[in-house]
Structure 1
Amino acid sequence: MPTDTETTIPEPSETLLIQMCERAPLIAGSSFGNRTVRLSDTLVAKYGMGVWIEEARNQEYAHAHVDRSILHVPRVLRYFEDSSQGSRVGYLIMEYVHGTPLNSMEINVPTMTTVAKAINHLSTIPVPESQGPGPIGQGVARGYLWPPEGVIFTAFEDMEAWLNSRLAVVCEERLNLSCPLAMRRMDLVRRNIILKADMSVCFLDWAFAGFYPELFEIRYLRDLLPEDPIWSEFLLNHIHHPTPDEEQALALLAVPAAVNERYFFGT
């Protein structure tokens, strides 16, 4: 109980937050998809039918485990869903981070080096015990490689079998992945990265992140090359140089992405 000199400030209701989101100035997105709006000097909200609990959990976990001198991850304040208008809409309330999106500036070697360091650092945060492939807590894997509705894996073998089922559509070769899992962003377009005033970087949009083999992110960056060649090539050269066996696996990984028609790239 508060004392006579203390005041308890109640949290805003979900109804009030929804109303605030509808009136707040738009930062990113459109009326046809997910929207990111500025709620105050310190808060933003991302909401839409494509905003899910897995994004909030990924972001919370990364925020709690990264070295913030290397990588800033916005703090999650709240997540909830609303279906009062007939369709499920997710609302993610988070810290507002001041800075410049990399897609609105000329990229340079020092900035790209800082991003590469942040990517490598993210891959070193602890993997939870019994964590399988996908977002934290065995949620629905979404984004690159996966179908629009997403997919859940309970074990590494399940993921490998799923990928090979896609390969079977077009060829007889099969993947045999013997790669450790690590936290991967899986959406390294420049619009999702902010350069802060102190020249550190902040990663936004954790919807496609999860614990995956490093080869998955390499495959993603290679497919991003036609859209943003200087950016993608630099990151590829500073993350990992695949072995011949890994190159064969990377070639096969291109097939599931094509089968699922998951080529939604942009800078």
Structure 2
Amino acid sequence: MTLSQDETIDRCGKARPQDLVAHIPHGNSILKLSDGIAVKFGYGVTEHEAHSQDKAYQILDHDIVRVPKVYDFFQDGQGRGYLVMDFMEGQTQDSYKDHSQLKALFRILDHFAIQTSERPGSLGGGPSRALLFGESDPLTFDTIDKIERWYNMRHLVPGATLSFQESELVLCHLGLFPRNILWHPDQPPCVLDWSSAGYYPRIFEACSQLIRERLEQRGGVLQIPIPECEADRVSLILKAWGNAQRFHL
């Protein structure tokens, strides 16, 4: 069954809470349209997210990580976005302590790390939207200098300067949290929500986990090891994020 855009909008508008596969209060929702198709919709669903997810589907090895294929993106007259994609079987979990699951997640991170770029920024183009960059209006980080400037203006540590000039830019998801990972027997993990994905220094993935841990007062998806040589940079990144939250910088 293939629905038109108007039919999809109508289905979403009539969906009851119990009909939704996922829902964030005052946020985005996911509705299953058929056995194989779902739609993510809401004011926070953007064309850039659709482009990022489509790019991830194209470049990643599906034997390592599953990504829902994107079929369409459109908006209604109120500005809500609709991302039509594969419906992926699986269940989320609150935490991951099973050795095989941890191994699968670190394999995904290693696979991300071989996807590189000469320039930083969002995977699908457009603004960089991620918890790691605070709650200010999303910025387009298309140069390393812009990323450095953002953090150095906010960490407020006298005499300290963050530099990423020597850092390789690799694919980072920046949202590898329990709600965004589906598990299914005998299949690789499925990673959802590519809205924050982009090419950044690899240490950013670990920082996103540490920030989530601070916000929720519990462990993130992964306790990513941080090399001793990166400890100072991580500290400055987290200070900058904290100040951005506190002062809305």
**Where on the TM-score scale, by shorter chain, does this alignment land: which range?**
0.7 to 0.9
Does the alignment pair 1:217 with 2:211?
Answer: no
2:105 is aligned to 115
User: Which of the two has higher C-alpha Rg?
Assistant: 1
Rounded to whole Å, the distance in 2 between the matches of 1:253 and 1:74 is 31
Give SS of 1:152's match: coil
1:46 CA displacement: 0.8
2:10 aligned to which of 6, 15, 19: 19
1:253 is aligned to 237
Matched-pair contact (CA < 8 Å) for 2:49–2:124: no
Unaligned 5+ segments in structure 2 are none
Give SS of 2:139's match: coil
Q: How does 1:66-81 map to 2 (within 5 A)?
A: 66-81=60-75
Unaligned 5+ segments in structure 1 are 1-8, 263-267
1:157 aligned to which of 145, 155, 159: 145
1:115 CA displacement: 1.2
2:52 aligned to which of 44, 53, 58: 58
1:42 is aligned to 36
Per-residue Cα deviation, 1:73-94 (whole angstroms, up to 9, x for no partner): 1101111122x23xx2111111
1:225 CA displacement: 4.0
1:243 CA displacement: 4.1
TM-score, with structure 1 as normaliser: 0.81
Per-residue Cα deviation, 1:121-140 (whole angstroms, up to 9, x for no partner): 1221353xx6x322125411
Matched-pair contact (CA < 8 Å) for 1:51–1:92: yes
Does the alignment pair 1:195 with 2:180?
Answer: no
1:45 CA displacement: 0.8
Rounded to whole Å, the distance in 1 between the matches of 2:130 and 2:147 is 14
Rounded to whole Å, the distance in 2 between the matches of 1:185 and 1:92 is 18
Give SS of 1:80's match: strand
Amino acid at match of 2:29: R
Give the stretch that moved more between structures: 253-262 or 193-202: 253-262
Does the alignment pair 1:242 with 2:227?
Answer: yes
Q: How does 1:99-138 map to 2 (within 5 A)?
A: 99-103=90-94, 107-127=97-117, 132-138=119-125
Rounded to whole Å, the distance in 1 between the matches of 2:51 and 2:62 is 18
Give SS of 1:71's match: coil
Matched-pair contact (CA < 8 Å) for 2:155–2:241: no
Matched-pair contact (CA < 8 Å) for 2:93–2:178: yes
Matched-pair contact (CA < 8 Å) for 1:167–1:174: no
Rounded to whole Å, the distance in 2 between the matches of 1:202 and 1:163 is 32
Kindly report the root-mean-square deviation, in angstroms, between the aligned alpha carbons of the 2 structures: 2.3
Rounded to whole Å, the distance in 2 between the matches of 1:256 and 1:23 is 42
Give SS of 1:100's match: coil
TM-score, with structure 2 as normaliser: 0.87
Identity of aligned residues (%): 28
Matched-pair contact (CA < 8 Å) for 1:166–1:259: yes
Rounded to whole Å, the distance in 2 between the matches of 1:125 and 1:28 is 29
Per-residue Cα deviation, 1:25-81 (whole angstroms, up to 9, x for no partner): 211114511111111111111111111122111111111111111111110111112
Give the stretch that moved more between structures: 144-153 or 46-55: 144-153
